[in-house]
Amino acid sequence: MRDRQSARGARRAREFQAFVAGAAGRLLHAATLLTAEAPDANPRARRLLTLALAHTYARWDRLRGEDPYDCARQFLATRFARSTWHRYGAFGRARPDPRSPLAALTPRERLVLVLRLYEGVAEEQAAALLGLPAERVHTLCDRATATVLHPARQTPPRPVGRRVAPS
């Protein structure tokens, strides 16, 4: 009996290690995009990834035909949404790294953009995951895409001094 349990545990550990080896890089990149941190300094993204992988490992035996990547991605997205809502309010902004390509977006816009464009989640699935109407997800994705593709221009500072009126 113990041999069977230890063999099952060893197989579970091998399967999960193989999953992590294949999926952790992509999940970390998604988490880094969500948190708008620099790729080389991303402690919040790494914490999100660790929590998502721990959650997936805890559910590993109960997945039964479900995609473990989908489970990890879903936990990553909901955990990010929940933590941003509680920490920064409904429309609050974290202080994203200015080097991040998604720094100009709100957390909700980043979440929708990453789910829809980076992860390829269908609009209806993203809406169900976030508890939003599909039209709202579509609007958020369009707005975020426009913001990323056409960023606001920085106006050069005007020199401070007296203007001399032409004579």
Give 6-41 pLDDT, tens digit per residue: 888 888 899 999 999 999 999 999 999 999 998 888
Q: What single-letter DSSP state applies at residue 118?
A: I
Residue 80: closest CA among 100, 62, 106: 106
pTM of the model: 0.78
Q: What is the mean pLDDT of the chain?
A: 86
> Would you call 41 helix, strand, or coil by DSSP?
strand
What CA–CA distance (Å, rounded) separates 141 from 127?
11
Residue the block writes with tokens 């999100």: 48
pLDDT digits (tens, 9 = 90+) for 55-87: 999 999 898 889 999 999 999 999 998 887 655
Residue the block writes with tokens 């991040």: 100
Q: What single-letter DSSP state applies at residue 40?
A: T
Please list the residues that pair with 41 across neighbouring strands.
38
Residues 119-143: b if buried by 16+ CB within 10 A, e if exposed: bebeeebbbebbebeeeebbebbee
**How would residue 125 be classed by pLDDT, with cut points 50, 70 and 90?**
very high
> Could you tell me the two tokens for 49?
């990834």
**pLDDT attached to residue 163:** 61
**pLDDT attached to residue 39:** 86
